[in-house]
Amino acid sequence: MNTLSTQEIISKLEETSIILIDVRPIAAYNGWALQNEQRGGHIPGAKSIPLQWTQYMDWVEVLEEKNINKEKAVVVYGYDEEQSAGMAKRLIDLGYSDVGVYNTFIEEWVGNPDLPLDQLPRFKHLVYPEWVKMLIDKQKPLHYTNGDYVLCHSHYDHIADYHKGHIPGAIPMDTNSLESPETWNRRSPEELRETLLKLGIRHDTTVVIYGRFSSPVYNEEKFPGKSAGHLGALRCAAIMLYAGVEDIRILNGGITSWETEGFDLTTDEYKPTPVEDFGKEIPVHPEYMIDMPEAKQLLASDKGELVSIRSWEEFIGNRSGYHYIEKKGRIPGAIFGNCGSDAYHMENYRNFDHTMREYQEVASAWEEGGITPDKHVAFYCGTGWRGSEAFMNAWLMGWPNVSVYDGGWYEWCNDPENLIKAGVPEKQVSTTNSTTVNL
């Protein structure tokens, strides 16, 4: 095991002769200064594999997914020598022959403002369990100066999920209060205002939101969405951004990350404290949600893309994906953005611990399919949940012109004037984490 200096790291990065692995928590990789270091973020090009992941059997599969092969030199760094040595030993045990450690990352790399660090542009809005714990314990977590916050436990018409156990202080938020069960589109501005006021949310309230991950079985459950609480939380976050909530904070990994840290849940019920005025006219950001006319304009434009965040089986028309949608197929002209296995999972956008996938991986996969930040990109799925999670990924990356096509496949296929396609497209481009298709 070699110990590399800062200059050696710089030289090898210029030669692209090494793979760097950042073994700190994902929050640190994204930009949080978890140990009060001078700057937050990671060395450009480094891969995120938190040391904590190695306690799971599945972690070895991550090496393959990230193309970390045994033929190339691997260098590990973390907050301290113990972290880097711990990961290096595991790699050596797996048969990696050229493994090094970089032990002066904090002192020499972070401490030198002339050396670059990459960050998730809006990392402050993707929080971690300790941040939430400090907030509810009336301490001042990093990058928080507000005195008004609401902690929300998201569920879809399934209050029993809240009563099963939630983070202390959290109030229940039913996705149905923000979207209509008739159309599954966002509710009207008046209805959104009424909901937010009842929940005690103004435009300048910090809203911290999360849900519970589970693995619903489509063929065995009449309403699989009732089990996809954290996916619903991302849907709520997107709608609240549209409405005008200025400070949305998403607990990365949902309630699973809270439990993984050993923090307690409670069954105590918490009631919201209603407010009288949202403070701004809803929607503050109408551009975050588009409807069918705008979706058609986007399909006809060379400056935008409509991206289908659906499974391959849905996209080629083998199944609709939902019990309540009969028609099968896809919107002609849309790009395939592959969510994962079905309408209630987002495997290609999440790590195996349910945290958001390394953002460069998502951006790289999108780029291979022609999905780039210089275009107006609108994401859609069946009814808005998966499209909203992809939207939140792009929003966290700071992409300037992103939307959710709110009506999605449900709205599109129910208009008899709209064309529908099925079958495997003629042009197909494979990407790292998914299969992206241009029609």
Would you tell me the crossing angle of helices 385-396 and 229-243 to the nearest 10 degrees?
Answer: 60
List the catalytic residue out of 236, 339, 381, 413. 381
Told to judge if 381 belongs to the known catalytic residues of this protein, a careful annotator would answer: yes
- Total number of residues shown for the chain: 439
Separation of alpha carbons 226 and 331, rounded Å: 27
Q: Are 172 and 156 in contact (CB under 8 A)?
A: no
Sheet of 99-101, strand order: 2-3, 99-101, 73-77, 18-22, 47-48
Query: Alpha carbon 273 to chain centroid distance?
Result: 29
Q: Are 126 and 32 in contact (CB under 8 A)?
A: no
Separation of alpha carbons 409 and 392, rounded Å: 19
Separation of alpha carbons 415 and 331, rounded Å: 12
- What is the 3-class SS of 349-414, one letter each residue? HECCCCCECCHHHHHHHHHHCCCCCCCEEEEECCCCHHHHHHHHHHHHCCCCCEEEECCHHHHHHC
Separation of alpha carbons 30 and 353, rounded Å: 16
Say if residue 215 is exposed, middle or buried (CB neighbours under 10 Å; 0-12, 13-18, 19+).
exposed
Separation of alpha carbons 86 and 396, rounded Å: 31
Among residues 360, 363, 370, the alpha carbon closest in space to that of 336 is found at 370
Q: Are 394 and 307 in contact (CB under 8 A)?
A: no
Write down the H helix ranges in 120-251: 129-136, 159-164, 189-198, 229-243
Strand partners, 378: 306, 403
Which positions are annotated as active-site residues?
Answer: 381
